[in-house]
Amino acid sequence: MDEYGMLKEFLLPPGSVLLGLSALMFVFRRCPGARRAVLLLAIGSLYLLSTPYVSQLLIRSLQWYPPLVPGAVTDAEAIVVLSAGRDRNVPMYGGDTVDALSLERLRFAARLQRATRLPLLVSGGPPFDSGRLTTMATLMAETLTQDFGVETRWREEASTNTVENALFTAQLLRDAFIHRVYLVTHAWHLPRAMMAFRATGLEAIPAAASYIPPLRPTAETLIPSARALTKSAYAIHEWIGMGQYAAFGQ
């Protein structure tokens, strides 16, 4: 993991909560009352972020684009799928393979490709920590072929983040005289991805690979879980990323 990756982990829960707790406990080390208040605030924040109800509120705050309507007529010329992550050294697959998030995106992209017969581009480069590992684009193309029977026309294999996904994909598709695409990723990732792609001049049609429905606050949705905390971290990561785009550009 590079320096940016480590910093990002500290900005997201639970790292941000623990870091903030440690800092404030040090600042208020001579004030027991304030220390107790800080501790309660940290525990409360971690609890709320770990509940399915709060995590889905955060995720749904990013679902700006409605699900793609089956059979909707567009003038898209290709399908672009963005990578998420990888699972490393999986014995059943003889090495690295796509993770669950990437697989969700690929599943929807394969479905969309069968419905439209459009050529498909997969986007994702090597991980930060090793240029020797197979690129995400290669892993994605292999999964599409082996598990879904769908061929990939282009592989964008240099990107390491969403902005680079957009830049390098736009370069590839301009060479193929393609200007309008379906953009496949998770609904909560689409706002930031659409910002990045629009900045390149490539016209993108949002195509969410998953969509989370609203939850009512019940006893079950208020029980904390690791899965809910992970979803909260995804949402916070996206809001931080969009704030960065707005403040500093891409």
How long is the chain? 250
Q: How confident is the model at residue 246 (pLDDT cuts 50, 70, 90)?
A: confident
- Chosen CATH of 78-208 out of 2.130.10.30, 3.40.50.10860, 2.60.40.10, 3.40.50.620: 3.40.50.620
pTM: 0.86
DSSP-H helix ranges across 149-200: 162-175, 190-200
173-209 pLDDT tens trace: 999 999 999 999 999 999 999 999 999 999 999 999 9
Amino acid (one-letter) located at 138:
T
Which residue ranges make up each domain of the chain?
A: 3-62+223-248, 78-208
52-104 pLDDT tens trace: 999 999 999 999 999 998 777 689 999 999 999 999 999 999 999 999 999 99
Residue pair 151/144 in contact (Cβ under 8 Å)? The answer is yes
* Antiparallel, parallel or unpaired: β 95-98 and 86-90: antiparallel
Q: Which two tokens stand for residue 114?
A: 């069968």
DSSP state string for 28-94: TTT-HHHHHHHHHHHHHHHHHHTSHHHHHHHHHTT--SPPPPTT------EEEEE---EEEEEGGGT
Consecutive H or E run containing 23: helix 15-27
Residue 27 has pLDDT above 80, yes or no: no
